[in-house]
Structure 1
Amino acid sequence: MSKRAKSPAAAEQVTVLAQPAWIVLAFAAVGAVVGWLAKLLANWLVEWDWAPLKGPAKLLNSIPEPWLTILGVTAGVVLGVLVGFIALHESLTVRVSDTRLTLTIRDETRELPRADVGPLFLDGKFLVLLGHRTEELVREPFDLDRAALAAAFTAHGYDWAAEDPHKADFHLWVPDTPGLPVGANALLSARAHAMRKTDKKEDVRALREELNRLGLAIRDESKRQYWRLPKPPSEPPPGPHAGRSTGA
């Protein structure tokens, strides 16, 4: 969902893309239905001798009506609201203006000046921002309207790309790959190990950030890591005395 607003501080148009707040109500409604169906499921389980979970089902059925229905629906609503707020917390909010770009996810906010941002694109389910040396500035999950995202960046003059313009420059990482910055192989090895664990998502994310600080851009495909180095800094333009002999 996107909307345009005027920033009071800078008096400029800001486009905001974020999950709508009504998603919490949607999850609450789904939770209410699930809670009501749980009552019907408990009734069905009690009637069959071979059915599993007969103990909990009998316990639920021991609650008289209408309290059983009220309890089931209320529990479903509470669970749905909780899931809805978690979804909002885990989703990316993008604020775009002509001069700056602000990204908020998991209570973390990062602001980037427009002048520091190079190409932007979607890589699978991730929004990726590159710097002017092709270094990776941001890679965050994005699950909103892709067309609205592209339109927002284009409207504010950003360099939106249909795909990663440097995709062909990535290389499959193997242990002890030569030519990487000091410490990169150790971080990639630790990250490969964390990727095999379902409860290590934060470690995978943190290790990616460490690799970004070393200058590496990282892509993941089927539990495999691909790496790319940015372009070297361009040499400063020659000064007025460049090439002039200073010999005695």
Structure 2
Amino acid sequence: MPTHATAAPCVHVVVPVKSLADAKSRLSAAVDESLRRELVLAMLEDTLRALLESSAVSAVTVVTPDAAAAAAAIRCGACSVDERQALARAGAAGDGLAVGGHPSEGGPHAALNAALTGAAYRVRDAVAPDHLAFVQADLPSLRPGEFTAAAAAAIAYPGLPVPGRPGDGDAHGHGRAYIADRSGDGTTAVFVCGAATRLRLGFGGGSARRHEAQGAIALRGSWPGLRADVDTVADLRHVRRLGTGASTGTLLRRIGVPGAKTR
């Protein structure tokens, strides 16, 4: 598990990856299924490498039901937890969906948020990190310095918990911060600052508004790679212009997105 011994703060990142068979369906009209699978893995690899190069990151855990995604995570130096095990841990805590359960009031993305929550519980059980972050897997233009700066901004925000002091300020949302995607509607990252801060996640459609309603703080920094997730062909063109990691850049050239460059 890669670590940065002198890094401060210490953030353990959890990254969700759905089954490759179901991934990036909005690209289906432009990119065939086999290439979409490769694209998901390429973007995952570039995202993980950028995170693991950030001086704020102690380790990364990928939660996925997909064996190929788990293998890619391990190759990049991340850890992997099976989605079913994560859901079971969330269910055991009475938080989210148990294995075999059904979406509850959390909406159609309840299973995603339950899997992330369960994976985070497992991380806290095992290593008790100072801080957690939940980051989307499709950020091929992410730079390590962007994540480092965003993590520092989240942790330094006035009112956030101080390690070693009682209370997490959760009644006012302090301890949680989020980064909206470039559209302002979705969320690319959530920070849960402080080892005792309650986990509360609202990923899915319209998630930026949901995280704000839950009391999380919106981080306003200019981090284009951290806000550039990929769901559409227009998004592919956008990350091409920003520059991507090597894996995604190579695949974009194969797909035929013109002018693809690596960062």
TM-score, structure 1 as length reference: 0.24
User: Is the radius of gyration larger for structure 1 or structure 2?
Assistant: 1
Higher relative CO (CA 8 A, sep ≥ 6), structure 1 or 2? 2
TM-score, structure 2 as length reference: 0.23
